[in-house]
Amino acid sequence: NAGVTQTPKFQVLKTGQSMTLQCAQDMNHEYMSWYRQDPGMGLRLIHYSVGAGITDQGEVPNGYNVSRSTTEDFPLRLLSAAPSQTSVYFCASCRRSAYNSPLHFGNGTRLTVT
């Protein structure tokens, strides 16, 4: 069972570069989300989607774009990387609602912006 797959696992960018973090799930989950994890801050929600074609902002959306053209995929785009975006990024999905469904997480992408 693949679950939630994130690529790449590690990435180094220079300030101003752009890139896309990939996320795919094979569980037919409607809900998908992106979090960033920083020391002492827990996980903070960047963007989320409740189904194909529907996206919304979380707590820290600035500097990031998302799209949801299929149920399976939910890529996160960094438009112009900044050192403040150095973090570990997690994609997570659940069946329908985060209220009562467990979030299934990928293993993360560690991003460093120099």
Partner 1 sequence: TQLLEQSPQFLSIQEGENLTVYCNSSSVFSSLQWYRQEPGEGPVLLVTVVTGGEVKKLKRLTFQFGDARKDSSLHITAAQPGDTGLYLCAGARGTGTASKLTFGTGTRLQVTL
Chain residues in the site for partner 1 (CB under 8 A): 4, 30-31, 33, 35, 40-45, 48, 50-51, 56, 58-59, 90, 92, 96-100, 102-103, 105-108
Looking at the Cβ atoms of 10 and 14, the one nearer to partner 1 is: 10
CA dist., res. 25 & res. 114, Å (int):
30
State the nearest-atom distance from the C-beta of 99 to partner 1, in Å. Answer: 4
Looking at the Cβ atoms of 78 and 91, the one nearer to partner 1 is: 91
State the nearest-atom distance from the C-beta of 56 to partner 1, in Å. Answer: 7
State the nearest-atom distance from the C-beta of 103 to partner 1, in Å. Answer: 7
Q: What is the DSSP string of 3-41?
A: -EEEE-SEEEE-TT--EEEEEEESS--SEEEEEEEETTT
Looking at the Cβ atoms of 65 and 95, the one nearer to partner 1 is: 95
Query: CA distances (Å), 6 to each of 3, 23, 65, 73, 100, in order?
Result: 10, 5, 16, 10, 24
